[in-house]
Structure 1
């Protein structure tokens, strides 16, 4: 039975569907689309209907590639009650695409089994995801002692050490933004990661919680200074650690000696997990881990840190639906542009994750 895409202008009704369906993501939420608008990209939201019943939701971000050519992108989407609906979605998408739209890119989830990720889903073809394709998620429904026991022994020791040193974990919203921004920008500069304009994150923080989702900040402070922190966007049962980092405490210690490492990053992650559990989320998405492990890269340390907190690996592979004969050229052009961006910012052609 065919699917129908019904465009909606009602953010509350749209986010209600995004929040309730089992295959979903906060990146399909209304607030995330409003943040993308800050980048000059245009979100359009649809309810996916079958035989008069809503079976999904879809936020398509229209990204202008060159004059007269666009990419339609569903970040970590679409939202569905079942992945078996994906092949039938293609025909519905063709009915709403404009003549200037060259292809549609989606990122549905597959857990634990990358070898079994299909190359084709009906007319969809495996491609390169725009969001980090690999992640680690932790099941927060377990009791706190079990969550702690699942941590690597080093992480458990660091949690105890951070408590002993008096590291404080705090959560909030706009009142914490400048502290988060200081940490985030310092981390990006150190690791040559790059970032969007400040207004992008501020809009996501305000709009992400406006219609049915949640957006908040978590900081780990020691003696009044924030040393680690992150930005979280949540929807339904899952909270996502999208952005963050850590800084070294360069304040002089006692008698001018270098300060001890108070394990603030570990305290941040553990505190963020407990906070998410208290908020009622059932899963904690650590976001990106590298496709290829290289001990010389910044991303390897990020991977080791996230892996220390237990959890399982989940894949969000990219799939493309060609809408134009020029779509193969567009795909190659996107890859070339990403490579050049990596070279310019980081001096390496390889992706961060």
Structure 2
């Protein structure tokens, strides 16, 4: 019997499947879809069923385009019992899709070696992903001593320096402090950001049905200097948004304050917090395929690499639902390049 999409409207029951499956992501959780709804996308949730058995779950976002057309997108999905089900997922989506849906994009996880990422999986063909394709995962099942030993020696030194200088980091409910850091970082690096309601909705909705969204801030003498927004579900937590700011307060006798290594303290304590809450891995989120010293991301990626994780691919794959699909993909790429140029003076992506 072929795979079928069974619509589900009960958030907790849906998230329970997303948490339990071995191939999964917090971006397939109900709360993430509700956040994307604030941007004009419409989420649809399904259980993947074969006979009477649930073998996966799928959150599809319908993204409206000009002319009444739509594209379908499964952020970091689908959720699966086994990757061998991917070809059948394409057939199930085709049976459900509307005539106005021209293309569907998925982002399943793959090996640490790019050479092991296939160009085609059944009807799915390699395509540009919407989320960053390349990331770093840290295995949190090691002891704290092993995690510390696995850090680059400079990161270990900075962790100890931050502690000695009185930096405290951990979960924090101060959204205003996070927002100040996040906004300042985006402006400094000429990055884009969604409206504030997007992040507030994710923080609220992702906590409502079995997943988790939370903030971690690193503070020195009460001032938040670094922080991030995390989305968690199942075995892992994902660092989606964040940044850091300089401490512009006057020091003793008007001197410039020391660098207290707040960003390093933030990452380290975010990892320890995730471990303490039972998560098995920590996803540092996007990094570029190759380091480029001319890009803003260079220093950030070097810092992430210093925490000793493994690089993993989440490649994009698409499936044409209409002959218009190639033209739509080209138009979306052009729009992304134009937005990059408008924001930063280059058509290149940040990562």
TM-score, normalization: structure 2? 0.99
Instruction: Find the counterpart in structure 2 of residue 210 from structure 1.
Output: 208
Structural mapping, 1:32-181, within 5 Å: 32-172=32-172, 175-181=173-179
Instruction: Find the counterpart in structure 2 of residue 315 from structure 1.
Output: 313
Equivalent-residue separation in structure 2 for 1:170 and 1:163 (angstroms): 13
SS at match of 1:54: strand
Equivalent-residue separation in structure 1 for 2:280 and 2:70 (angstroms): 36
**Match for 1:327 among 300, 314, 325?**
325
Equivalent-residue separation in structure 1 for 2:254 and 2:111 (angstroms): 50
Q: What is the Cα deviation at residue 68 of structure 1?
A: 1.1
Equivalent-residue separation in structure 1 for 2:122 and 2:60 (angstroms): 20
SS at match of 1:286: strand
Structural mapping, 1:8-23, within 5 Å: 8-23=8-23
Q: What is the Cα deviation at residue 20 of structure 1?
A: 0.3
TM-score, normalization: structure 1? 0.99
Instruction: Find the counterpart in structure 2 of residue 235 from structure 1.
Output: 233
Instruction: Find the counterpart in structure 2 of residue 194 from structure 1.
Output: 192
Q: What is the Cα deviation at residue 275 of structure 1?
A: 0.3
**Match for 2:293 among 295, 319, 325?**
295
Equivalent-residue separation in structure 1 for 2:123 and 2:91 (angstroms): 9
Equivalent-residue separation in structure 1 for 2:341 and 2:65 (angstroms): 20
Q: What is the Cα deviation at residue 113 of structure 1?
A: 1.2
Where does structure 1 lack aligned partners over 5 or more consecutive residues?
A: none
SS at match of 2:174: helix
Where does structure 2 lack aligned partners over 5 or more consecutive residues?
A: none
SS at match of 1:324: coil
Q: How many residues align?
A: 351
Instruction: Find the counterpart in structure 1 of residue 334 from structure 2.
Output: 336
CA shift digits 1:48-78 (9 cap, x unpaired): 0012100000000000121311010000000
Instruction: Find the counterpart in structure 2 of residue 282 from structure 1.
Output: 280
Q: What is the Cα deviation at residue 90 of structure 1?
A: 1.0
Q: What is the Cα deviation at residue 98 of structure 1?
A: 0.5
Report the RMSD for the aligned CA atoms in angstroms.
0.7
Q: What is the Cα deviation at residue 170 of structure 1?
A: 2.6
Equivalent-residue separation in structure 1 for 2:290 and 2:73 (angstroms): 25
Write out the 4+ residue segments of structure 1 that deviate beyond 2 Å after TM superposition: none
Q: Does the CA contact (< 8 Å) of 2:14 and 2:57 recur in 1?
A: yes
Equivalent-residue separation in structure 2 for 1:302 and 1:67 (angstroms): 40
Q: What is the Cα deviation at residue 88 of structure 1?
A: 1.0
1:224 is aligned to 2:211: no
Equivalent-residue separation in structure 1 for 2:38 and 2:26 (angstroms): 17
Equivalent-residue separation in structure 2 for 1:192 and 1:54 (angstroms): 44
